[in-house]
């Protein structure tokens, strides 16, 4: 298993990507992990120690091998603070705000393609405030045959805490699967 990640000593982003400095170390880390039979790394619980600098900004979606609906198994504290809701344990299609539903399409795409997915998104809040963020999604397999997508989100600035979930819209400004 690779050593701990340094969120400051970032590797260069892929050509054409504006992957934020905070997220850049994650892609080479993921690529350096041992590959499972489906061509992606095997998720192991001890990997979480490498991810400590990003914990509050992480989410994880589990895709059961039997075809049951994918669910969030982790929803970081910064994400809860921003959205006002902890989605841990909820299905990704559980009638959330349309913005959350739009965001979940990328998790499905990352899972199906078994490739990392990067996106630059914008949340439009009341009074004209626009919050932009980078999102990196990394696919994994589990020993039990289930799959997971680990997401790390980096907001451009400290977020407002006084808005209702129903009062926003989400726009995908850029996104693509990475090689």
pLDDT, tens digit (0-9, with 9 covering 90-100), for 19-66: 567 788 898 999 999 898 788 999 887 888 888 888 999 999 999 998
pLDDT for position 95: 56
Residues with Cβ within 8 Å of residue 94, at least 6 apart in sequence: none
Residues with Cβ within 8 Å of residue 126, at least 6 apart in sequence: 163, 167, 168
pLDDT for position 30: 92
Q: Domain spans of the chain? A: 26-177
Mapped onto helix, strand or coil, the DSSP state of residue 26 is helix
Q: What is the 3-state secondary structure (H, E, C) of 115-157?
A: CCEEEEEEEECHHHCEEEEEEEEEEEECCCCCEEEEEEEEECC
Predicted TM-score (pTM) of the model is 0.81
Maximum average pLDDT range among 11-15, 36-40, 93-97, 111-115:
111-115
The fourth-level CATH superfamily of domain 26-177 is PAS domain (3.30.450.20)
pLDDT, tens digit (0-9, with 9 covering 90-100), for 127-177: 788 888 899 999 999 888 999 999 999 888 766 665 555 666 666 777 777
Helix %, strand %, coil % of the chain (to 5): 25, 30, 45
């Amino acid at each position: 298993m690779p050593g701990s990640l340094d969120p400051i000593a970032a590797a260069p982003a892929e050509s054409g990507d504006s992957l934020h400095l905070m997220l850049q170390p994650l892609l080479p880390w993921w690529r350096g992990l041992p590959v499972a039979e489906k061509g992606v790394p095997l998720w192991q619980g001890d990997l979480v120690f490498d991810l400590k600098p990003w914990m509050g900004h992480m989410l994880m979606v589990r895709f059961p091998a039997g075809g049951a609906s994918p669910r969030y198994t982790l929803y970081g504290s910064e994400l809860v603070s921003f959205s006002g809701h902890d989605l841990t344990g909820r299905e990704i299609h559980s009638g959330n705000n349309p913005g959350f539903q739009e965001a979940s399409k990328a998790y499905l795409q990352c899972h199906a393609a078994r490739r990392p997915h990067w996106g630059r998104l914008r949340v439009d809040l009341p009074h004209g405030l626009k919050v932009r963020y980078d999102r990196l999604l990394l696919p994994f397999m589990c020993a039990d045959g289930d799959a997971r997508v680990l997401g790390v989100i980096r907001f451009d600035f400290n977020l407002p805490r006084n808005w209702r979930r129903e009062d926003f819209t989400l726009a995908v400004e850029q996104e693509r699967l990475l090689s």
